[in-house]
């Protein structure tokens, strides 16, 4: 009986602490969004996997939803910053996963491109012949894992100035969709980290070469 009481008390304390942390995060992200002139919605939005179907990390698991959503204009581009959750497994193997991300809208169409930090496991896949795209900069190739079905596109986007920029910035996973760039990590962001993620996406888009912008704008007009 005493053991049951302790379990109930522990459960009640855990619920209170969880609610307190949730309320604090709500307050912190809302204050940050307001300071940046962004709208804020704390509610669960289950449409993100359909709104952004090109981003694989938004289609993991089940019971997917976005929350603490801040949206609006960021230096002339549309930004969406949010927390995300999804569930994997069943019963005792059930796990709820959380991460944060920022999505920045591009003024021109984009092609698929995936950039993340190099992992130790990548050396194993390289040995098996499953390699990523290498660049002239040995330092960049050692630090980053880059994938794209179009190598020329990867080289056009990740030129010398962009490599130097990414090497100097905090590390995130970066993915290009058809018109958006998503930057995230497999954990929740602080408000300041949202700004770092947005700065990474902005920095890449700001450094797209003029010839590439003209080419993509021309292709866009040709398909309309």
CA 213, CA 205: separation in Å to the nearest integer? 10
- The closest of 53, 90, 49, 54 to 66, measured between CA atoms, is 49
pTM equals: 0.86
Find all residues with CB under 8 Å of 61, minimum gap 6, and list them: 86, 87, 88, 97
Task: Give ∠ CA 48-113-211 in degrees, rounded to 5.
Answer: 115
| pLDDT value of position 127 | 46
- The secondary element (H helix, E strand) that includes residue 176 is strand 173-176
pLDDT tens digit at each of 224 positions of the chain: 655 555 544 444 434 344 444 678 999 999 999 999 999 999 899 999 999 999 999 999 999 999 999 999 999 999 999 999 999 999 989 999 999 999 999 999 999 999 999 865 555 455 444 568 999 999 999 999 999 999 999 999 999 999 999 999 999 999 999 999 999 999 999 999 999 999 999 999 999 999 999 998 887 665 55
| pLDDT value of position 66 | 97
| pLDDT value of position 90 | 93
| pLDDT value of position 23 | 72
Instruction: Name beta bridge partners: 117.
Output: 144
| pLDDT value of position 152 | 95
């Amino acid at each position: 009986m005493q053991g049951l009481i302790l379990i109930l008390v522990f459960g009640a304390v855990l619920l209170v602490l969880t609610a307190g942390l949730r309320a604090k995060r709500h307050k912190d992200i809302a204050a940050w969004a307001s300071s940046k002139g962004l709208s804020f919605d704390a509610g669960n939005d289950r449409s993100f996997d359909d709104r952004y179907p090109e981003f694989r990390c938004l289609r993991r698991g089940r019971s997917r939803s976005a929350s603490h959503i801040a949206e609006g204009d960021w230096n002339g581009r549309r930004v969406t910053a949010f927390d995300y959750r999804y569930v994997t497994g069943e019963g005792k193997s059930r796990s709820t996963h959380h991460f944060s991300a920022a999505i920045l809208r591009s003024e021109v169409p984009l092609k698929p491109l995936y950039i993340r930090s190099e992992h130790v496991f990548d050396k194993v896949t390289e040995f098996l012949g499953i390699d990523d795209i290498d660049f002239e900069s040995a330092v960049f190739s050692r630090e980053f894992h880059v994938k794209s079905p179009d190598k020329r596109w990867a080289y056009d986007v990740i030129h010398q100035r962009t490599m130097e920029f990414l090497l100097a910035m905090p590390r995130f996973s970066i993915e290009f969709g058809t018109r958006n760039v998503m930057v995230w990590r497999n954990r929740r962001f602080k408000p300041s980290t949202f700004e770092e993620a947005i700065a990474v996406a902005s920095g890449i888009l700001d450094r797209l070469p003029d010839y590439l912008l003209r080419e993509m704008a021309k292709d866009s007009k040709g398909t309309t």
